[in-house]
Structure 1
Amino acid sequence: MLYLKKLIPFMLFIWLAPAVLHAQSNQNQQPTREELERRKRELQKEIDEANEALKETKRSTRESMGQLRALRNKIMLRSRLINNINEEINFINGDINGAYRDVKTLQKDLDTLKAQYAQLVVYAYKNRSTYDMINFVFSAQNFNDAIRRYAYLKQYREYRHRQASNIVETQELLNRKIESLQSQKEKRADALKSEQDERQTLEKDRKEQDEVFNKLKGREKELVEDINKRKKDAQNVQAAIRAVIRREIEEERRKAEAEEVARKKAVEEKRKRDEAARKAAAAAAAAAAAANNNNNNVATTPPPVKETPKAPEPERPAPAPSRSANVLEATPEALALSESFENNRGKLPWPVSNGNVIGHFGRQHHAVVEKIDVENDGIIIATSKGAAVKTIFEGEVRRVMVIPGSGYVVMIRHGQYFTNYVRLQTVSVKTGDKVRTGQMIGTASTNDIENQGEVELQIYKGVVKQNPEIWIMRR
C-alpha cells in the first residue's frame, strides 16, 4: 500500500499537466494586430499617391498651393503611419512580455516534470526485481485485490511513459516559445528602425513644407489676387446655378398650377354633363309616363323620377404620413428619384476615377494668407489633366453652361436634388439627355499653375447647398 501512496500523487500531476500545456499552446493572437497591419498598408499606399501628386505639382516652374497641400497631406499621413507603428510596437512588447512569462512557466514545469521523473526512475531502480512485483500481486488477500494491484502496476508503467512523453513535449514547446520570443524581438527591432526612418523623412517633409510656405508667403499679393478672382468666379457660378434651379422650380409650379386648373375644368365639365344627362333622363321618364297614361285613359299625375340611392363608400384608412409637398417631386418618377438619391447618401461614387479633395466644402482659412477665408460651394478635386468626369447618379441634364473662369458647368437633376460639375474642359452631353450613374459627361479642366487637373462637385437640395463629402464614398 505504501507503493500506491507514492504512486497516486505522480499520476494526478501527470493527468493535469496536458491540460495546462494545451491551454498555454493555444493562446489566440489578438485581431487588432491584423487591423494595424491593414491600416499600415493603406497609409503606405496613400503616402505613395501623395508622393506622385507632389511630383506632378513640382513640374511647375514655381511653388504652388498644390505643392503645399501635397506636402501637408504627406506630413499628416506620415504622422498617422508613425502612430500606427508605435501601436504595433506596443503590441509586440506585450507579446514579448507574454512570451517571457510563458518561457518561465514552461521552464518551471519542465524542471518539475524532470524532478518527478527522476524520482520515478530511482524508485523503479530500487524495485527493479521481478520477484518484488510478483510478490506485490500475490500478497493480495483475495482475487479482486490481486486484480486491482495488477491494474495499478499497469497504470504505473503507462504513467512513466506519459511522463517521459510530457517532458519531451514540454521541451519542444519551450523551444518554440524561445524561437517565437526571438522572432518578436526581431520584429520589434525592425519596427523601431522603420519608425526612426519615418521620423527622419517626416522631418525632411516639414523642412520642405516650411520652404514652400515661406516662398508662397513672399507672393502674398499675387495669391490674394488669385483668391479674389476665384471668389468672383465662384459667385458667378453660384448665381447661374441658383437661377437655373429657381427657373426649374417656377416651371414645375406653373405646370402644377396648369394641371390643377385643367383638372378643375375637367371636373366641372363632367359635373355639367352629368347634370344634363340627369335632366334628360328625367324628361324622358316624364314623357314616357305621360304617354302611358294617355294610352290607358287614366288621368293621373306621372310619378316623380326617383334617383337610385348610391351605396355608401367604404371607409378608407387614414393615409400614412408622407414627406412635405415639393413641386420638384410632383411626379411619381421625380419622387422615386429623390428617394433613391437620398438612400445612397454616403455611397455615391466619385466623379473621377483617381483624385483627392484639395478644397473642402464651406468656409476655411487660407493655407498661406491667414487673414482671408475661402468658402467653397462644393468640393474641389485634384486629378490628372484631362481626366474623365462621370455622373455620380442617374438623372436628366438640365443645363450645360459656359462661365468665364470656371469653364463648362453641367447641371443634372435627380428629383429635388441637383448635382453640378464645375470646371470642365470639354463636355459630351447636352440639355435634356438622360444619363446613368458613372456615365462620362466631360473632362476635367487643367490648372496650369498647379500643373494638375481640377473638377468641382456641387450638390443642391432645391436651392440649399449640401456638403458633397457626406454624400460620396470615403476613400
Structure 2
Amino acid sequence: MKKLIPLILVMWLVPAVLSAQNNNQQSREELEHRKRELQKEIDEANDALRETKKSTKESLGQLRALRDKITLRSRLINNINEEINFINGDINTAVRDVKTLQKDLDTLKAQYAQLVIYAYKNRSSYDMLNFVFSAENFNDAIKRFQYLKQYREYRRRQAENILETQSLLNKKIESLQGQRNKRSDALKTEQEQRATLEADKKEKDEVLNKLKGREKELIADINKQKKDAQKVQLAIKAVIRREIEEARRKAAEEEAARRRIAEEKRKREEEARKAAIAAANAAKAANTNNANSSANNPPPPPVAAEKPKEEEPAATPPPRREHVLEATPEALALSENFEANRGKLPWPVDAGTIIGEFGLHKHAVVDKISVENDGIILGTAKGARVKAIFDGEVRAVVVVPGSGYVVLVMHGQYFSNYIRLQSVAVKKGDKVKTGQTIGTASTNEIENLGEVELQIFKGAAKQNPALWLRRK
C-alpha cells in the first residue's frame, strides 16, 4: 500500500488542480476582458479630456471626462482587487499542495532509507544464495527467487517515486513563487491606479470650483439650450403631426372611395334588377294578349317585383392597425422590423460617447437647476459623418436656429431625428438605408468636439434612444 502513495497523490492532485482551473478559468477570462475594456474606455476618456483642454477655459466637457475617468478607474481598481483575490486563492492552494508533497516526500525518503539499510545489511551474494537454496523444495526456491526480484523492483520504483514527487514539488514551488510575483505586480498596479485616481479627483474638484465661479454664465447657457430645444421640439412635432394628419386624410379618402365604389355598384345592380323585371312583365303581357284574344278574358296580373335579395355580408375587414402611420403593409413591416431591432440598432456615428443622457437630470455644476434632453447627445469628432440607424424615408430637413440642421427619417410609425447637424446629404422624400450618410456633426467650440443629438419617437411619444442602440 505504501508504494502506491505517490501514485494516489498524483491522481488526487491533478484532478483537483484541473477542477480549480476549470472553475476559475471563465471568471479569470471575464476579469481580463473587463480589464481591457475598462482600460480602453479610460484611454477614450483621456483623449476626450485632452481635446477639451485645448479650449481656452474650463468646460462641462472637461468635468464630464474627469468624472468618467474617476468612475472607470474605480471600476478598474475593483477589477484588480478581484484578480488579487483569485491569486491569493491560488497561493493558498499551492501552499497546501507544497506541504502535502513535502510530507509525502519525507515519508518516501524514510521508507527508501529503510530499504537501503536492509539492502546494505544483506548485501552479500552468499546470503542471497543461501536464502534461495535453503528452501525445502524447488517451488519454494522459485518463490524466494521471485520475492528477491520483486523486492529489487520495488526499491527501484521507490527511487523513481521519490524523483517524481521531488519534481512535482519543485514545479509547485516554482508556480507558487510565480503567483507571489504576480500578486506583487498586481498590488503595485493597484497602488499606482489609486494614486492616479486621487490625482483625477483633485483635478475634477479644481475644474468644478472654477465652473461654479461661472455660474451665471452657465445658467445663461442652460436657458439658451432650453429655448433651442423647444424650437426643435416644435419643429419635430409639427412634422410628425403633419404626417399623421396626412396619413389620416389618405385613409379617409381611401375609405370614402371604397364606399363610393360600393354604392355605385349597388345602384347598378338595382337598376339592372328593375330593368329585368320590367322586361319580364312586358314579355309576359304580350304573350298573354296573343293567346287570349277574346275580350271576355281579362289580362293576367303583372309580374310582381321580386323582393330584393339581402346583401351578402361584407368580407372580414383587414385587421386594425395600431397606428394610422401603419396603414400600408410596407409601413407596418417597417415598424415591426424597427421594433425587432430594439437594442441592436447601430450608432449614428462611427466613434463617439454619450455626453448627454435622455430625460431629466440635475445639472453637473448648478445643482438647483435640472436639464432635460429629448434624446441622447453624442460627442464625436468634429465634422464626423452622421448615419441613418435604420431603413426609412426622409420626411423633413429643416434648419432650427441654435441647433443647425434637423433631419427626420420615418420608419413606419417610428421616427429617428438627427439634430445639430452641420451639413446634410439628403432631402425630403429620399429613401435611406441603414448606415447611409445623412449629414455631418456640428462643432462645439467650447468643448472642442463634434456633437449630434439623436431622438427616437413612436408616433408623437419620445423614446430613450440609448435603449434602442446596441451596446458598444
Q: TM-score, normalised by structure 1?
A: 0.87
Quote the Cα distance in structure 2 between the aligned partners of 1:148 and 1:471.
Answer: 84
Quote the Cα distance in structure 1 between the aligned partners of 2:129 and 2:305.
Answer: 133
Q: Is 1:460 matched up with 2:452?
A: no
Q: Is 1:49 matched up with 2:44?
A: yes
Q: Deviations over 1:97-156 (max 9, x none)?
A: 1111111111112112222233333444455544266358x657x96x888777766655
Which residue of structure 1 lines up, in the alignment, with residue 177 of structure 2? 182
User: What is the number of equivalent residue pairs in this alignment?
Assistant: 458
Question: Any conservation in 2 of the 1:14–1:162 contact (CA below 8 Å)?
Answer: no
Alignment-mate amino acid for residue 470 of structure 1: L
Q: Is 1:100 matched up with 2:95?
A: yes
Quote the Cα distance in structure 2 between the aligned partners of 1:255 and 1:51.
Answer: 54
Alignment-mate amino acid for residue 350 of structure 1: W
CA displacement at 1:261 relative to structure 2 = 0.8
Q: Deviations over 1:311-343 (max 9, x none)?
A: x99x99x99xx7863101111111111111111
Quote the Cα distance in structure 1 between the aligned partners of 2:117 and 2:12.
Answer: 26
From 356, 367, 370, the equivalent of 1:370 is 367
Task: Report the CA distance shift for 1:332/1:139 in structure 2 as closer, same or farther (over 3 A).
Answer: farther
Quote the Cα distance in structure 2 between the aligned partners of 1:376 and 1:87.
Answer: 37
Quote the Cα distance in structure 2 between the aligned partners of 1:288 and 1:156.
Answer: 134
Alignment-mate amino acid for residue 213 of structure 2: G
Task: Report the CA distance shift for 1:54/1:397 in structure 2 as closer, same or farther (over 3 A).
Answer: same
Which residue of structure 2 lines up, in the alignment, with residue 73 of structure 1? 68
Which residue of structure 2 lines up, in the alignment, with residue 134 of structure 1? 132
Q: Deviations over 1:209-232 (max 9, x none)?
A: 111111111111111100000000
Task: Report the CA distance shift for 1:473/1:15 in structure 2 as closer, same or farther (over 3 A).
Answer: closer
Alignment-mate amino acid for residue 129 of structure 2: Y
Task: Report the CA distance shift for 1:182/1:27 in structure 2 as closer, same or farther (over 3 A).
Answer: farther
Q: Secondary structure, in 3 states, of the residue corresponding to 1:92?
A: helix
CA displacement at 1:404 relative to structure 2 = 0.2
CA displacement at 1:19 relative to structure 2 = 2.0
Alignment-mate amino acid for residue 22 of structure 1: V
Task: Report the CA distance shift for 1:288/1:60 in structure 2 as closer, same or farther (over 3 A).
Answer: same
Which moved further from structure 2: 361-370 or 294-303? 294-303
Which moved further from structure 2: 440-449 or 109-118? 109-118
Q: Deviations over 1:347-400 (max 9, x none)?
A: 111111111111100110111111110000001111111000001111000000
Q: TM-score, normalised by structure 2?
A: 0.88
CA displacement at 1:263 relative to structure 2 = 0.9
Q: Is 1:274 matched up with 2:269?
A: yes
Which residue of structure 2 lines up, in the alignment, with residue 4 of structure 1? none
CA displacement at 1:165 relative to structure 2 = 2.3
Which residue of structure 2 lines up, in the alignment, with residue 238 of structure 1? 233
Q: Secondary structure, in 3 states, of the residue corresponding to 2:52?
A: helix
Which residue of structure 1 lines up, in the alignment, with residue 296 of structure 2? none
Which residue of structure 2 lines up, in the alignment, with residue 425 of structure 1? 422
Which residue of structure 2 lines up, in the alignment, with residue 224 of structure 1? 219
Task: Report the CA distance shift for 1:350/1:185 in structure 2 as closer, same or farther (over 3 A).
Answer: same
Pairwise mapping of residues 298-377 of structure 1 onto structure 2 (< 5 A)?
325-377=322-374
Q: Deviations over 1:418-452 (max 9, x none)?
A: 11000000000000000000110000001111111
CA displacement at 1:176 relative to structure 2 = 0.9
Alignment-mate amino acid for residue 16 of structure 1: I
Q: Secondary structure, in 3 states, of the residue corresponding to 2:366?
A: coil
Unaligned runs of 5+ in 1: 1-8
Task: Report the CA distance shift for 1:272/1:21 in structure 2 as closer, same or farther (over 3 A).
Answer: same
Pairwise mapping of residues 388-467 of structure 1 onto structure 2 (< 5 A)?
388-467=385-464
Q: Secondary structure, in 3 states, of the residue corresponding to 2:243?
A: helix
Question: Any conservation in 1 of the 2:132–2:141 contact (CA below 8 Å)?
Answer: no
Which residue of structure 1 lines up, in the alignment, with residue 12 of structure 2? 20
Which residue of structure 1 lines up, in the alignment, with residue 163 of structure 2? 168
Quote the Cα distance in structure 1 between the aligned partners of 2:380 and 2:143.
Answer: 86
Name the Cα RMSD after superposition.
3.2
Unaligned runs of 5+ in 2: 294-298
Which residue of structure 2 lines up, in the alignment, with residue 3 of structure 1? none
Q: Is 1:247 matched up with 2:242?
A: yes
